[in-house]
Amino acid sequence: MELPCLIYPNRLNRHRLFLYAALAVCLLAPLGGCGKKTDQKAQLPVTDVVAVTVQPKTVPAIFPFVAQIQSSHQVDVMARVNGFLEKISYQEGEPVKQGQVLFVLDKKPFVAAVNAARAAVDIRKSQLFTAKASLDRIKPLADQNAASKSDLDNAIGNYKTAEAGLQQDQANLDKALLDLSYTSIASPVSGVAGQALMREGSYIAAGSSSAKLTYVAKLDPAWVDFSVSQNEQAKMRQSVEKGEIARPKDNRFTVDIELSDGRRYPQAGVVNFADPSFNKDTGTYLVRAEIPNPKAVLRPGMFVKAYLKGATRPNALVVPQRAVQQTSNGHVVFVANDKGLAEARPVVVGEWLDNDWIITQGLKAGDKVIVDGFMKLAPGAPVKLVTPEEMKTSAQSATAK
């Protein structure tokens, strides 16, 4: 009868074992007490953080575009008369002044044509002198019926013919002189002259492809050309209708330029043209701004980044860029909620504004966005709002320890 007792402990011993185990659990439990569920969040340390309260405000609306510099006045230098190119009188690629001679054609044929035309004028003047003298003699005689009326008519006709011939020859002389002047081809504007397309000794035929000798591009002011897509225009129009964007007064948009090395161009431009129709091939329309270029830093064909300014965003929510974290699922900020806990809030960001980021979705007025100290946080962690000075003092104390 004792064998079963060896295999199965009695109930008293079993109760004692359970009691000892429960006592051990109670002794090892946190101070919150035995039998109570542990609150892990309450065990997390309170983290000092700096936060900004988000408030709506009016901020500039800035739109970036890839742009290209164009000359405000680019002119092709063309030959107006036929002839052999005798001399190139400028330094290719260098600045030139208006009226400066760039090319010289062989003048000898044109000088000969001028001399021939001048001689024809002299002959006509002699003929006119003779015709006038004959008319002056016959007219008094015809008045006295000493000469026939037909003699008078012939004298008058000869005089008028000589007079018209002189005018014609004078016009030929003027044209010959004009053609001679065209042998010296001058710059029509001040600017930068391009490469010479024809070399010395080449025959230039006016009205053909060889007539184009080079170009001169005016540099000051310069034009900034960029294209706005149909979707971008529609989005801006919708934003204006919703009150999210306000156009500038008198629709006066300005443009800032960022050069290829990241430097900002010191001068600002003003939009002076917008193409009324879309390009059927690209679905965009051209916008042009005029910008001062006194030092010729901007050259035609140069690619730059243009920032279209002038519009504003009323009631925009803006936070410092350092408060926004980018994750695989988008952008996130930490917000200190009313319970003193850190809350991870997904947001949709707009464009940058200096050191701030415009938030289009995810925040509301009055939210306290953590801008310093959030790197140590996890969602739901308790936080304490401090000033930047207090945060700095705390960090110095921690470093000293």
**One digit per residue, pLDDT tens: the chain, 401 residues?**
333 333 334 433 443 433 333 333 333 444 444 444 445 445 678 888 889 999 999 999 989 999 999 999 999 999 999 999 999 999 999 999 999 999 999 999 999 999 999 999 999 999 999 998 988 888 888 788 877 888 888 889 998 999 999 999 999 999 999 999 999 999 999 999 999 999 999 999 998 999 999 999 999 999 999 999 989 889 889 989 988 899 998 889 999 999 999 999 999 999 999 998 888 888 899 999 999 999 989 999 999 999 999 999 998 999 999 889 888 889 999 999 988 898 999 999 988 888 888 998 899 999 999 988 878 778 888 888 888 887 777 666 656 55
- Length of the chain in terms of residues written: 401
CATH number of 249's domain: 2.40.30.170
Whether residue 65 contacts residue 226, with contact meaning beta carbons closer than 8 Å, is answered with: yes
135 and 258 belong to one structural domain: no
pLDDT on residue 7: 34
Whether residue 135 contacts residue 159, with contact meaning beta carbons closer than 8 Å, is answered with: yes
Token pair for residue 38? Answer: 């542990």
CATH number of 376's domain: 2.40.420.20
Backbone phi and psi for residue 77, each to the nearest 5 degrees, phi listed first: -90, 115
91 and 183 belong to one structural domain: yes
**Domain termination site, one of 314, 339, 370:** 314
153 and 105 belong to one structural domain: yes
Residue 319 falls within a domain, yes or no? no
Residue 275 falls within a domain, yes or no? yes
Entry pTM: 0.69
**Nearest-CA neighbor of 98 among 223, 181, 192?**
192
**Interatomic CA distance for residues 325 and 163, integer angstroms:** 93
Type of residue at 234:
A
Neighbours of 278 (CB within 10 A): 16
283 and 237 belong to one structural domain: yes
Whether residue 69 contacts residue 223, with contact meaning beta carbons closer than 8 Å, is answered with: yes
> Residue 284 sits in which domain range?
62-71+218-314
87 and 157 belong to one structural domain: yes
Token pair for residue 305? Answer: 């980044």
CATH number of 170's domain: 2.40.50.100
Token pair for residue 29? Answer: 């439990």
**Nearest-CA neighbor of 172 among 249, 113, 96?**
113
Beta-carbon contacts of residue 186 (< 8 Å; ≥ 6 apart) = 98, 99, 100, 101, 102
Angle between helices 149-181 and 108-143 (to 10 degrees): 160
**Interatomic CA distance for residues 30 and 39, integer angstroms:** 10
Query: Read out DSSP for 321-349?
Result: GGG-EEETTEEEEEEE-TTSBEEEEEEEE
**Interatomic CA distance for residues 127 and 123, integer angstroms:** 6
**Nearest-CA neighbor of 166 among 135, 134, 137, 132?**
132
pLDDT on residue 368: 93
Q: Which own/partner contact pairs does 292-297 have at CB distance under 8 Å and 24+ positions apart?
A: 292/220, 292/221, 292/222, 292/267, 293/219, 293/220, 293/221, 293/222, 293/267, 294/220, 296/95, 296/192, 296/219, 296/220, 297/259, 297/265
pLDDT on residue 8: 36
Mapped to the 3 state alphabet, what secondary structure does 138-196 carry? HHHHHHCCCCCHHHHHHHHHHHHHHHHHHHHHHHHHHHHHHHHHCCEEECCCCEEECCC
Whether residue 165 contacts residue 126, with contact meaning beta carbons closer than 8 Å, is answered with: no
pLDDT on residue 25: 38
**Domain termination site, one of 249, 281, 314:** 314
**Nearest-CA neighbor of 114 among 181, 34, 62?**
181
**Interatomic CA distance for residues 24 and 120, integer angstroms:** 135
Token pair for residue 225? Answer: 């050309």
**Domain termination site, one of 216, 244, 265:** 216
185 and 257 belong to one structural domain: no
Token pair for residue 41? Answer: 């969040």
310 and 230 belong to one structural domain: yes
**Interatomic CA distance for residues 254 and 377, integer angstroms:** 43
274 and 170 belong to one structural domain: no
156 and 206 belong to one structural domain: yes
**Interatomic CA distance for residues 391 and 272, integer angstroms:** 50
142 and 88 belong to one structural domain: yes
Token pair for residue 399? Answer: 């470093």
pLDDT on residue 47: 83
Distance of CA 37 to the CA centre of its chain: 64
Residue 174 falls within a domain, yes or no? yes
* Beta pairing partners, 309: 254
Gyration radius of the chain over CA positions: 46
83 and 34 belong to one structural domain: no
